[in-house]
Amino acid sequence: TQLLEQSPQFLSIQEGENLTVYCNSSSVFSSLQWYRQEPGEGPVLLVTVVTGGEVKKLKRLTFQFGDARKDSSLHITAAQPGDTGLYLCAGARGKLIFGQGTELSVKP
C-alpha cells in the first residue's frame, strides 16, 4: 500500500496547456517536498512546503500544501517541452516517503 498516492501517473499534453498533479495521503506529514527527475539522473528538489495551507510559486509552477498537511498539488501554467520529466512528491515522517511519481510529457 502506497502511503502517498500521486495522480495522474501519466500525463501527455501540448505546449501551452495547464496541468495539475495531485499528491494525497491519509497520513499527516511534517513537510512535503516536490522533486523533478530526468532520465538517468537523480531527483532535483523543486520546493519544500511546511505549513498547512501554504502556497509557493516557482515561475510557472504553483505548489500548495493542504490545510490538514495530508495532501499537496502542483500546478503548471503554460507547460513547455522543458517541463517534461518525472514529478515526485515526498512526505517527511522521520524519513522521506515518496509517491510513485507522475510522468509528464509536453509536446511542442
Partner 1 sequence: KAGVTQTPRYLIKTRGQQVTLSCSPISGHRSVSWYQQTPGQGLQFLFEYFSETQRNKGNFPGRFSGRQFSNSRSEMNVSTLELGDSALYLCASSQAMGQGYGYTFGSGTRLTVV
Q: Binding marks (x or -) toward partner 1, 41..60, rule CB under 8 A?
A: xxxxx--x-x----------
Residue type, 81: P
Cell reading at 31:
513537510
List all residues 6 or more positions away from 23 whose beta carbon is below 8 Å from its beta carbon.
4, 5, 6, 32, 34, 71, 72, 73, 74, 89, 91, 99
Among 54, 99, 102, 106, binds partner 1 (CB under 8 A): 99
Among 1, 59, 82, 95, binds partner 1 (CB under 8 A): 95
For residue 45, the minimal CB distance to partner 1 (Å) is: 4
24 lines the binding site for partner 1 (CB under 8 A): no
94 lines the binding site for partner 1 (CB under 8 A): yes
CB of 39 or CB of 108, closer to partner 1: 39
Strands, E assignment, 2-101: 5-7, 10-14, 19-24, 31-37, 44-49, 55-58, 61-65, 71-76, 85-93, 95-98
Contact footprint for partner 1 (CB under 8 A): 30-31, 33, 35, 40-45, 48, 50, 88, 90, 92, 94-101
